[in-house]
Structure 1
Amino acid sequence: MTDPAPDPPAPAAAGGSPYAARPWLGLLSAAQLAPVAPPASVLDAFRAAVARAPERAALAYFDGRVGYAEADALSDSLAGYLAGRGVRRGDRVAVMLQNTPHFVLAVLGAWKAGAVVVPVNPMYKSAETRHVLGDSGAVVLVCEDGAWGGCPAEAVRGTAVRTVLTARPTDFQTRNDPRTLPPPAVPAAAAPGADAPVDLVSVARQGHPAPPDPRFASDDIALISYTSGTSGTPKGAMNPHGAITYNAVRQVTGHPIAEGAGYFVLAPLFHITGLVCELAACLVNAGTLLLTRRFDAGTVLDAFLEHRPAYTIGPATAFTALAAHPAATREHFASFQVVSSGGAPLPPALVARLRADFGVHLRNGYGLTECTAPCASVPAHREAPVDPGSGTLSVGVPGAQTLVRIIDERGAEVPLGQTGEIAVRGPQVVPGYWGLPDATARTFPDGELRTGDVGFMDADGWLYVVDRKKDLIIASGFKVWPREVEDVLYTHPAVREAAVVGVPDPYRGETVKAYVSLRPGAHAEPSALVAYCAERLAAYKYPRQVEVLPVLPQTTSGKILRRELRERG
């Protein structure tokens, strides 16, 4: 255990800073106000859970169970195998999996080998995956066996990946739900420069001796989590072990749930929310992580009844789908003590509907990859207010050891109630981006995260997020930068100009729309352009709408005016 995390220093402000006074402290419970002493690493939290409850189920996957002691032994063997393959402290291991037990075992095994985990979205296509693998310098890739013959095998070309482990989603269960099964696996073959894939579970059951304990310190990097920067190029945020355990412990103390409770994985584990608020918080509380591979509303509702979870967190779109499912009843949600939402704006109407129809109090939260998931949330004993002027639901309040300020374009604080950029300082803020010192200096001046999100704080300390700077699109909780989509459109032989904007969508919050003009004499149907992008981009990135215009609006200097296109809708 480490000493309690100290309060972050408050920047000096002429005449006194209303934010440094932390008006939100009056809204916190005694447990939320108390200092915490998180474990130095997530691995320490896991080992403590193994010692406390070795026979308790650590993982539940449909009808399958993996106990804490078994997960410890399986991940030991994986770590020993990786060490035998030359993986050393600080090497990067990319994990490109859905919400299955393999994800957890791969992450634990990588950490036991001393490695840094690089979560990779399994919806990524080849170019997106190759960038993450190449930029991180990953030497190992873990992916599903049914996916290996496609995107991953192509993406490892020219990267440092030499070892590949594959996973069968049907492992760890005795009855298979056809809604969650992947396409049949193709025979595994080696990609150029990498060895032939090896089955992860087979390796885990071979009993390889674990390497020596890496003895991580709290400032050792646990994850390189890729997000999009202002240029649209994905950047790797370096999440330290201590930042993860700090937020995980705060999740447990802030939302009191009995040790050993069920944590349902609604947010994907490859996303920082899933890794911290579900996986790490579950391990800190020696709970059982409840998994269903991918989101399917019917399957999730069945799992709610089977496992009776106490906690879950996910995007608003998931709760919208659950509420709309014809089989949903109040009994499906009866076991929950805490239900949270994050990653995208939460409509007040959805909160009201879940409460009225299902008895669920859906709590809001706010965070980024760069602050290791949450930096503000609604306290368990409070109701988030709605701003009467904008109708915006508050995302909650910062924690006792987190300082949130609202600043203007010059970095000066604005008065409470006024809008500006949200800036965050605290134990959960990452030290910077992998291999990008200039971007780090811009985004983390003096260690403070400049989020790029626009919001305000009221006199009581409630935080509201009302907009995003520039042109970032949030579709179903995922970040989409227009430039990345435009670059794909520009590779189409018929496209002359392209501009991408976010437009309102009742289900996804925002959806991606593209405007294009065509080359003289060329022809392309909007549906064909949508399909073209869908083949080259992750599902949440490609435009659902394409509109062809004779010419796109431009400034006198030739820059396309996205603002006018956004107003066009």
Structure 2
Amino acid sequence: MSVYDERPWLGLYAGEPADLEPEHTDGLAMFRAGLAADPTGDAVRYFDGVLTREELDAQSDALAVALLDSGFERGDRLAVYLQNVPQFVVCLLATWKAGGVMVSINPMSRARELTYLLQDSGARVLVALETLYDEVARDVVPGSSVELVLTTSELDYQTRHDPRLFAGVSRQRHAGTDDLVEFLEARRGQRPPPVELAPDDVAFLTYTSGTTGVPKGAMNTHRNVVFTARVYRDRARFARGGSVFGIAPLFHITGLIGHIAISFAAPLPLVLAYRFEPQVVLDALLEHRPTYTIGAITAFNALFNSPDFTEDHFASFTSVYSGGAAISPTAERAFKARTGLQVHNAYGLTETTSPMTLTPFGAPSPVDPTSGALSVGVPVPSTVVRIVGEDGEDLPLGEVGEIVADGPQVVAGYWGKPEETAANLPGGALRSGDVGFMDPEGWIFIVDRKKDMINASGYKVWPREVEDVLAEHEAVREAAVVGVPDEVRGETVKAFVSLKAGASATPEELIAHCKERMAAYKYPRQVVVIDELPKTVTGKILRRELRG
């Protein structure tokens, strides 16, 4: 039986018909609908602190008034330089209420990156953690477009001050900045004038990782946000009375949509724990008993490798999705063995405002028998996914080419970069840069990133396939494969591997493991065992750092 037998299906390249016309035209209206439905319900839980929806509404009102009083105008940008704290959600809503655009900045960004992001976005306001302002922003702001700096503390909105996260952290006041909480208190009870947000207004700028050049600010519109929030809400089977656990960083598109926007749309409480620290997260799972989350498989693996992990930590979950990093069939099986739950694949990019494909709830992703790849799902509703060749023409089912997506979640373009927009979003469809194929039932399989393909003696080798084979070895925790120069083959395959706690394996054993299972041109000629693979804050393995 096909997974589509119970669903209206437009064809092998398209998701369901446009049955997801949003009830709301913008993210603010989506939040207000949840506010009206349950004003006293919890909006954000942060350790022992709680913000109800009406409290979140009042605080974002006060901040919006403060922004407008400071000269903030419609279309202006407010940058947030924060970890997973309640202030992030307050700032997002306040920016919308003031008619502005939020700019989400990775809290791991250093001076060079922060300088570029503030200059490129033209942000007039910066909201930063006091610690990040002290360490980085104080030297960057004077030469930027920023006119108002609000600082805040990770110690606010809760009283526990867990030493595993906050050891040595104390309140700091910095010259030339204002305290966010004081800003809110000074305008408590005030409401900003009504604002009308159009579906095509930009809701936030999310910056790409810049792996192929400087980061580009994807213009995620309100139409994008409400569409993808509803896709998750209606496809992930949220439990009534449950909550969303924010395991992904909020600055990332997964956190913005898969955590914040979903909590507005459901509506459900959003549980935050400052940043990913495995033991802190495990404690929070037992305390708050969330029912849904989406995060990188690398984050889940880190939890499983904690000595204190038990199946009970995931006992409350009814729906778990993973995105942002590839899942091998071995990792999927291990997830179910450790938790008793099916982890569902999701696939999307910053430019698709998170999902373009999802694994239907309750349906295990198929494994391609040839490549061994685990499917990332089927196109989400109202979305067309195509596989194209170098000439941009559609390829037959089963053939490998670049994945192209078109639908209500695709961004309007890149901020201030018309040439990049034209190149990467021709006609409004996104050229993903990912290489994959579609099977006859519409399942999408990702082979790899186009730029990561290895050319060994004229043969194409996709790192994902080698990594999946390495993951089958009982001692391997994680693997990353890159191409390195070779005088004879042009390029050859090199693998970097981290091992499970207490396990052992030599490079020679791992090479032999692959050699038995792969064509001669594919198996790695070099294997390096290291303690940890380099990753982005969202859990993606950084192959570019391994290339040296």
- Please give the TM-score of this superposition, normalised by the length of structure 2: 0.81
In structure 2, what is the Cα distance between the partners aligned to 1:251 and 1:284? 9
AA of the residue aligned to 2:437: F
Shift of 1:211: 2.1
Give the equivalent residue in structure 2 for 1:325. Answer: 306
Verify: 1:344 aligned to 2:325, yes or no.
yes
Q: Give the direction of change, closer, same or farther, for the CA distance of 1:471–1:157 in structure 2 (3 Å limit).
A: farther
Partner Cα distance (1:425, 1:344) in 2: 22
Asked if residue 269 in structure 1 is aligned to residue 269 in structure 2, the reply is no
Contact 2:46–2:86 (CA under 8 A) maintained in structure 1: yes
**1:183 to 1:245, Cα distance in 2 relative to 1, 3 A:** farther
- 1:21 counterpart letter in structure 2: G
Residue 423 of structure 2: which of 423, 438, 442 is its match?
A: 442
> In the alignment, what sits opposite 1:334?
315
Match of 1:299 among 280, 291, 295: 280
Cα gap change, 1:502/1:40 in structure 2, threshold over 3 Å: closer, same or farther? Answer: farther
**Mapping of 1:493-508 within 5 angstroms?**
504-506=496-498
Match of residue 510 from structure 2: none
Give 1:178's match in structure 2, choosing from 137, 160, 163: 163
From the superposition, tell whether residues 404 and 504 of structure 1 become closer, same or farther in structure 2 (CA, over 3 Å).
Answer: farther
CA distance in 1, matches of 2:51, 2:144: 34
Question: Is 1:244 matched with 2:225?
Answer: yes
- Distance in 1, matches of 2:113 and 2:200, equals 28
The 8 Å contact of residues 218 and 351 in structure 2, kept in 1 or not, is answered as: yes
Residues 502 and 156 (structure 1), Cα distance of their counterparts in 2 relative to 1, 3 Å cut: farther
8 Å CA contact retained: 2:60, 2:90: yes
Contact 1:24 1:462 in 2 (8 A): no
Determine the structure 2 residue equivalent to 1:167.
152
Deviations along 1:493-528, whole A, 9 cap, x unmatched? xxxxxxxx99544489xxxxxxxxxxxxxxxxxxxx
Show the counterpart of 2:460.
none
Aligned equivalents of 2:36, 2:436: Cα separation in 1 = 44
Paired residues for 1:276-287 under 5 Å? 276-287=257-268
Query: Aligned in 2, Cα 1:541/1:33: closer, same or farther, shift over 3 Å?
Result: closer
Q: CA deviation at 1:183?
A: 4.3
SS of 1:90's equivalent?
A: coil
Q: Equivalent residue for 2:506? A: none
CA RMSD of aligned residues (A): 2.9
Q: Match of 1:45?
A: 30
- Inter-partner Cα distance in structure 1 for 2:82 and 2:360: 32
Q: Is the 8 A contact 1:260 1:285 kept in 2?
A: no
In structure 1, give the amino acid aligned to 2:12.
R
Question: Does 2:413 match 1:428?
Answer: no
Partners of 2:296 and 2:539 within 8 A in 1 = no
Q: Would the alpha carbon gap of residues 425 and 20 (structure 1) be closer, same or farther in structure 2, given more than 3 Å must change?
A: farther
Residues 1:161 and 1:540: Cα distance change in structure 2 (over 3 Å): farther
Report whether the alignment pairs 1:158 with 2:143. yes
| Structure 1: unaligned runs, 5 residues or longer | 1-18, 191-195, 476-481, 483-500, 509-533, 548-565
Aligned residue pairs: how many?
Answer: 472
Distance 1:543 1:341 in 2: 18
Separation in 1, partners of 2:545, 2:404: 35
Deviations 1:425-483 (A, max 9, x none): 000000100001111111111111111111111010000111112249999xxxxxx9x
> In the TM superposition, what are the counterparts of 1:166-565 in structure 2 within 5 Å?
166-181=151-166, 183-185=168-170, 187-190=172-175, 196-208=176-188, 209-228=190-209, 231-471=212-452, 504-506=496-498
Structure 2 residues not aligned, in runs of 5+: 1-8, 454-462, 468-481, 483-492, 501-533
Q: Quick check: 1:22–1:403 contact (8 Å CA) kept in 2?
A: no
Q: Who is 1:521 aligned against?
A: none
Is the contact made by 1:145 and 1:185 (CA closer than 8 Å) also made in structure 2? no
Report how far residue 393 of structure 1 moved: 0.6
Contact 1:149 1:188 in 2 (8 A): no
Aligned counterparts of 2:20 and 2:205: Cα–Cα separation in 1: 27
Q: Normalising by structure 1, what TM-score?
A: 0.78
Contact 2:406 2:428 in 1 (8 A): yes
1:100 alignment partner, one of 54, 79, 85: 85
* d(CA) in 2 for partners of 1:353, 1:230: 30
Runs of 4+ in 1 over 4 A off after TM superposition: 471-475, 501-508, 537-547
Q: Partners of 1:23 and 1:200 in 2: how far apart?
A: 48
Q: Report Cα offsets for 1:131-152 as digits up to 9, x if no partner.
A: 0000000001111112211211
Superposition pairs of residues 11-50 of structure 1, within 5 angstroms: 21-22=11-12, 34-50=19-35
Whole-Å Cα distance in 2 between the matches of residues 268 and 85 of structure 1? 29
Matches of 2:538 and 2:359, distance apart in 1 = 31
Contact 2:247 2:276 in 1 (8 A): yes
Shift of 1:34: 3.5
Partner of 2:60: 75
Q: Is the 8 A contact 1:351 1:362 kept in 2?
A: yes
> 1:130 is matched with which residue?
115
Percent of aligned pairs sharing the same letter = 44
Q: Give me the whole-angstrom Cα distance separating, in 2, the residues matched to 1:471 and 1:357.
A: 31
Per-residue CA shift, 1:296-335, capped at 9, x if unaligned? 1111111111111010011111010111111111111011
